[in-house]
Amino acid sequence: MYAIWKLCWSNLNNKKVQNSFMAIIIMLSALLLSTAILVINNTNQVYESMHAKVHGAHQILRLENGIHDPNQVQQWWAEQQGVAASEMMRYRYLSSLSHAGEEIPNVDLFMMDTPNGPFSVDQLLFVQGEERHAPKPGTVWIPTSLAYSKDIEVGDPIEFKTDKETFSLQVAALVVDISYCSPFATSGRIWLNGQDYSTHMASLQGNDMYMTGLRFDEYSQNHAYWESFEKFLGTPYLESVKDYESISSYYMIANQVISFIMGFLAVIMISVALHTLGFTISDGILSSYKTIGIIKSVGLSSRRVISAYVMQYTLLAMVSVIPGILLSYFFSNQIVSRSMAYLYTGGSEMKVHASAIAIGVGVAVIVIAVIFLTALLFSYKARGVEPAQAIRYGMSEKDSLRKSSRGSAWRKKLLKLDSLPMEMIIGLRGVTKNTGGSALIMLISALSTAVLVFGFLFVYSISSIHETIAKWGYDSADLSVRIDNPAKLSYEEFHKEVLLDQRVKNYSRYGDANGVLPINKGLAGEPEQDTLGILLTVAEGNYDEIGYENMKGRNPISSLEISIGVNVASSLDLKVGDLLDIYIAGEKHTLTVTGIYQAIANMSYTGRITADVIREVDPDYGATMNTIFINLQDGVSIDEFVNELHHKYGRAIWTASQATLVDEVFSQAVTILILPMSVMALLFIVITFVIIYSICRINMKKESRTYGIYKSIGMTSRQIRVSVTVGILVVSATGALIGVPLGFIGLPPLLNIILADYGIVEVPLIMKGGGITVMIPLSILTAGLGSWFASRSVQTTSPRILTVE
């Protein structure tokens, strides 16, 4: 055992730089893998623990169309064993909020008549402000998602605009409202005092709407309750339902994407590390061939020689994994803290739980076990070392003959390259002579470039999402206008004065509605009814002109047609041309599916219909369609047009450009993604440098005699270093060119797997040629620097090395 340990320690001590770099590779691999697992685990844990703490709703029923009796619905659910039902809370919609004199675009507000707390479901957690049973008159509570993203603080006045008046209330508290507090949310519940609700809301046109939250002891049993509930109603439930998957989805989506990318890259990095480890062991055996032969000739068995290599790299892995795991706790905490900031209540930072410690230990064991098996596999080459051949040739006799013949063949090829500069010829000779190392450099350069290109395209595509917004399920109109005061400005007046303006290219009026799809689950003759609620976009105009896209088919143009989201299509196994039964405003319609599209909104559980569908039931529906999407003629300034509208109509309308609306929703995504994506890019650059440095140092040591010869015939150290670097740059450039298409063709489909559940089956990426061009030289430059720094040993190489021969 002492002999094995001595040999192991000798290998560790004599190759400090090489072993240090191998340790860095192992550490970074463990860091990425552990971080990926910890992020998704802690995201789920933080959300689920908070959801349990506040008795979060599993489903939220909204009764907005008067189809069912709210009191009857609430009473039935309240009487069920195993279900907690909140009070039936009344509310009205508003879509206008101003803070510090500026109107906040793209918000949908549920103006709640706050019941006396504490709530049985969806309890509010107070982050700032005085905790009370209800807001004081003249004050409101607002969710942290709205407050943090818009820089609203306790004590600030905020203004709300209805079609009759503008009124101001003071923010008395910021609350965590878990069902309406997620990142990227454009809707939120504003909690009003009952007196303020009666003064400002109850007098508005239309009827009060109602909302109740349901929490199941066993959420998996909710379908059984719903079967009983619909039997009680005598019809399917025909109003809106927001379920747990939809409530939790936007808390999870950013970290799901980050974790998937990290995990995938960790697997790549570990694979590269293992390949590098195998190359290092194989090369170490070849470079120590004579030494191993001498050791075996004096009685040390092959098993013990193999054990020395296995022990060396297992010890290296054990030492390297620990700091990687520890760093992953810090890194994962940063990512989770950013993405779950709206649930932060001001207490202590996220702590590492026992499960997180178990994950760290598990990752460490896996990485160490894989390193152990890889070292064992590649070190088996030591069994083939024959002492006599090792002492005589320094390698096997077969390899000696191959080397000689390869050198002869190389000399013949070399004569054909005499037109190239000497440095390039020498560099290419080194590349072709060390094919294993060159292949590994090409591989790591390709992977590094692919990661850099994909990372850049993904972040750039999210930050510039307004360019592809139609592919995310939204419109791509130039601007959106909402008539907030129909008493002062009717749609007919707006149409005559604005929409018929020569600068307007086209326009379309929009609204929304809820649809309920019956699902037949049972066998023929044994029907078992269930329902699926979807959000409908309703258009009075042409969907295509405003930029709504479909992946298959087309948008609806008549009252008998509908286009549906991909998750609706997959849930009901529908194709273009199929008939679809749907309840809208309590009335059943049979529509033909004309298109299927992807949409991030509502996880693609959405549909598009024309206004004529609803007018068959409600002829006056158009009076409530006060949102108009407008495209302007080419060359017309959007900003000038918007300013003109504001100057002419003042507070009677609300107007925003499409870019402004998009930025409001997706700017948070950029903030959350930039840190982890930047760190991953940096890690791959470091890995590229470390591996190429390590490979080049190995090759430099093997070729030290050759470089001694070059020096003896008059070449300077700088010329030799330049020639080595040129060869590596050629190999790295080849790998980078391979990595570019891999980055924007090979990696995005893997991301589609994660986003498919959220309604995006083909991630829209923007091919930014300039950015891609910048990414390509990064891995090449890193490879060149690794080679240049590794070749510093040439400066100490003396021609007298030749006398060894």
**What are the C-alpha distances in Å from 117 to residues 35, 80, 121?**
40, 22, 10
Do 49 and 71 fall within a single domain? no
For residues 725 and 789, what is the distance between their CA atoms, to the nearest angstrom? 9
Nearest to 187 by CA among 111, 85, 103: 111
SS3 content of the chain, % helix, strand, coil (to 5): 60, 20, 25
Kindly state whether residue 221 falls inside one of the protein's structural domains.
yes
Q: For the ranges 179-183, 382-386, 505-509, 542-546, which has the lowest average pLDDT? A: 382-386
> Model confidence at 363, in pLDDT bands (50, 70, 90)?
confident
Q: For the ranges 169-183, 339-353, 569-583, which has the lowest average pLDDT? A: 339-353
| pLDDT value at 452 more than 80 | yes
Kindly state whether residue 40 falls inside one of the protein's structural domains.
yes
- pLDDT value for 349: 47
Kindly state whether residue 281 falls inside one of the protein's structural domains.
yes
Do 575 and 477 fall within a single domain? yes
The overall average pLDDT reported for the chain is 80
Tell me the range of 484-493, 588-597, 615-624, 636-645 where mean pLDDT is highest: 588-597
Percent of the chain with pLDDT over 90: 17
- pLDDT value for 409: 52
Of 2 and 720, more confident: 720
| pLDDT value at 414 more than 70 | no
Do 106 and 151 fall within a single domain? yes
Do 344 and 380 fall within a single domain? yes
> Model confidence at 389, in pLDDT bands (50, 70, 90)?
very low
| pLDDT value at 550 more than 90 | yes
Which amino acid is residue 680, in one-letter code?
M
Q: What mean pLDDT comes out for the span 580-602?
A: 89
> Model confidence at 759, in pLDDT bands (50, 70, 90)?
confident
- pLDDT value for 150: 83
Cα–Cα–Cα angle for 15, 20, 23, rounded to 5 degrees: 125
- pLDDT value for 353: 56
Kindly state whether residue 784 falls inside one of the protein's structural domains.
no
Number of domains, the chain = 3
- pLDDT value for 171: 92
> Model confidence at 698, in pLDDT bands (50, 70, 90)?
confident
Which of 649, 665, 681 marks a domain boundary? Answer: 665
Which of 184, 203, 238 marks a domain boundary? Answer: 238
| Domain extent at residue 162 | 65-238
> Model confidence at 295, in pLDDT bands (50, 70, 90)?
low
Do 328 and 274 fall within a single domain? yes
List beta partners, residue 561.
Answer: 592
| pLDDT value at 527 more than 50 | no
For residues 654 and 637, what is the distance between their CA atoms, to the nearest angstrom? 18
Q: pLDDT tens digits, residue range 25-72?
A: 888 888 888 887 888 777 778 888 888 898 999 999 998 888 889 999
Kindly state whether residue 532 falls inside one of the protein's structural domains.
yes
| pLDDT value at 531 more than 60 | yes
- pLDDT value for 356: 65
> Model confidence at 805, in pLDDT bands (50, 70, 90)?
very low
Question: Distance between alpha carbon 648 and the CA centroid of its chain, in Å?
Answer: 43
Do 50 and 145 fall within a single domain? no
Do 515 and 656 fall within a single domain? yes
The DSSP output letter for 396 is -
Kindly state whether residue 694 falls inside one of the protein's structural domains.
no
- pLDDT value for 407: 47
- pLDDT value for 415: 44
Q: pLDDT tens digits, residue range 633-676?
A: 998 898 889 888 888 888 788 888 777 777 766 776 777 777 77
Do 25 and 76 fall within a single domain? no
Tell me the range of 101-105, 269-273, 478-482, 700-704 where mean pLDDT is highest: 478-482
Nearest to 27 by CA among 19, 17, 38: 19
Kindly state whether residue 313 falls inside one of the protein's structural domains.
yes
Do 352 and 480 fall within a single domain? no
Q: pLDDT tens digits, residue range 86-133?
A: 999 999 888 788 888 787 877 788 999 998 878 889 899 998 888 888
Q: For the ranges 216-225, 323-332, 550-559, 707-716, which has the lowest average pLDDT? A: 707-716
Cβ neighbours for 302, distance < 8 A, ≥ 6 positions apart: 296, 382, 383, 385
Do 552 and 596 fall within a single domain? yes
Q: For the ranges 263-272, 288-297, 539-548, 685-694, which has the lowest average pLDDT? A: 288-297
Kindly state whether residue 671 falls inside one of the protein's structural domains.
no
- pLDDT value for 212: 93
Do 11 and 82 fall within a single domain? no
> Model confidence at 590, in pLDDT bands (50, 70, 90)?
very high
| pLDDT value at 526 more than 60 | no
Of 234 and 400, more confident: 234
- pLDDT value for 482: 85
Token output for 547: 């930029």
Judging by beta carbons within 10 Å of its beta carbon (0-12, 13-18, 19+), is residue 770 exposed, middle or buried? Answer: exposed
Do 15 and 97 fall within a single domain? no
| pLDDT value at 569 more than 90 | yes
Cα–Cα–Cα angle for 83, 88, 89, rounded to 5 degrees: 130
Give the containing element (helix H, strand E) for 595: strand 587-597
Contact 3, 295 (CB under 8 A): no
Q: Say whether 476 sits in a helix, a strand or coil.
A: coil
| pLDDT value at 241 more than 80 | yes
Which of 342, 366, 385 marks a domain boundary? Answer: 385
